[in-house]
Amino acid sequence: MDKFGERIISWYTKNKRELPWRSGCDPYEIWLSEIILQQTRVDQGLAYYLRFVDRFPDIFSLADASGDEVFKLWQGLGYYNRAANMLIAAKTIVEEYSGVFPQDPKELIKIKGIGSYTSAAIASLAFGVSIPVVDGNVYRVLSRIFGIKTPINTSNGKKEFENKAAELIKGYPPGTFNQAVMEFGALYCKPKNPNCETCIFKMKCYAYINKSVSEFPVKKKKTVVTNRYLYYFLVENAENGFPGIYIKKRTAKDIWKNLYDFPLIESKKSIDPLDAIAKFVSEYHLLHSGFSIRSISEIFHHQLTHQKLHAQFIRLIVDKKMMMNSDNSLLLIKVKDLINYPVSRLIDRYIKENNIIK
């Protein structure tokens, strides 16, 4: 879009909120405001900011402060590690930089509590370094206006938005440009109910034209990982004169379809192996044959893309041939033949680690 920077700066000049740290280019005041406003609304953070600059008017007075005093002033803002980091940073700036904030964002980022966002904000607002600041407001404004659909919570997305903002900032005063985009996002192009009808960009805004404002910015859904608790039963039987073991082919449509496993009790939460045995005994009518417990394994953890498996292997010895389960799907095979049947990696791990096939 032509003249994006010109339009948004002109809007900013007329509509910006008058905030004390915007009156000059003091890196200390800009840094202080950025630290206080992380995870805090401007109306709440403003009073804290004023109290801090009143009590600590410069980096030297803050570096000299006691932790107790800083925490007391910070009280109620939450995220207390911000206050702790702020004090460490003040001491670093005084001791290692003689009380002068470095101008280079790469140097600023080395200071405790200053990340890529804050370093770009200080460098551009205080020193006029041409570097874009990309925060939640910027993601929202740029994604909607330019129709950028790359999810913002991916590394590709972050890069794409940074590149777009770097391209747009060229030729404009960096501090003013950055503040203009952030302020426009905070006051106008808000997450909910943006003021589209009176917006200066509405004729060019991709999301408005395509009636898809609420779909921007795009975020990749976090994968929900489910926990599954599996209790496998290795039921051994020597009744027929050979050490036999029961296995079962999986026919259900899942990642293990067509593989073999042992009779299984599954639970959504962790249960005591003895409770799993009780369930198994009742499900497979083991009371009729008599059984003894040979061993209960440690828990095997196994991570899949959407599932975390927690498996325990319980070895039982039955006196007589086990009665078939309702779907008649159990196979009694020689233990040494287990090697011929395809099994999941989890079961393979257990078999190998425990030397089941001797």
Contact footprint for ligand SF4 (CB under 6 A): 144-145, 188-189, 194-196, 199, 201-202, 205, 207-208, 213
Q: Would you call the peptide bond into 217 cis, given omega within 30 degrees of 0 as the criterion?
A: yes
Of residues 325, 241, 249, 245, the one with CA closest to residue 283:
325
Write out the two tokens for 171.
């030729």
Half-sphere CA count of 258, side-chain side, radius 13 A: 0
Compare residues 75 and 195 and give the one whose CB is closer to ligand SF4. 195
C-alpha 308/C-alpha 302 separation (Å) is: 6
Write out the two tokens for 254.
């899942």
* Active-site residue, from 34, 160, 183, 236: 34
Question: Among positive and negative, which fits the CA dihedral 175, 180, 182, 183?
Answer: positive
DSSP 220: P
Rounded least distance, CB 1 to ligand SF4, Å: 11
Rounded least distance, CB 188 to ligand SF4, Å: 5
Per-position DSSP letters for 48-70, written without gaps between them: HHHHHHHH--SHHHHHTS-HHHH
Distance from first CA to last CA of the chain, Å, rounded? 72
The torsion angle over the Cα atoms of residues 195, 196, 199 and 204, rounded to 10 degrees, is 160
Compare residues 205 and 314 and give the one whose CB is closer to ligand SF4. 205
- Length of the chain in terms of residues written: 358
- Mark whether 34 is an active-site residue: yes
C-alpha 143/C-alpha 146 separation (Å) is: 6
C-alpha 315/C-alpha 229 separation (Å) is: 17
Compare residues 96 and 215 and give the one whose CB is closer to ligand SF4. 215
Rounded least distance, CB 157 to ligand SF4, Å: 18
Rounded least distance, CB 117 to ligand SF4, Å: 21
Rounded least distance, CB 190 to ligand SF4, Å: 8
Rounded least distance, CB 107 to ligand SF4, Å: 35
C-alpha 290/C-alpha 267 separation (Å) is: 25
286 alpha-carbon distance from chain centroid: 46
Q: Looking at the annotation, which residues are catalytic? A: 34
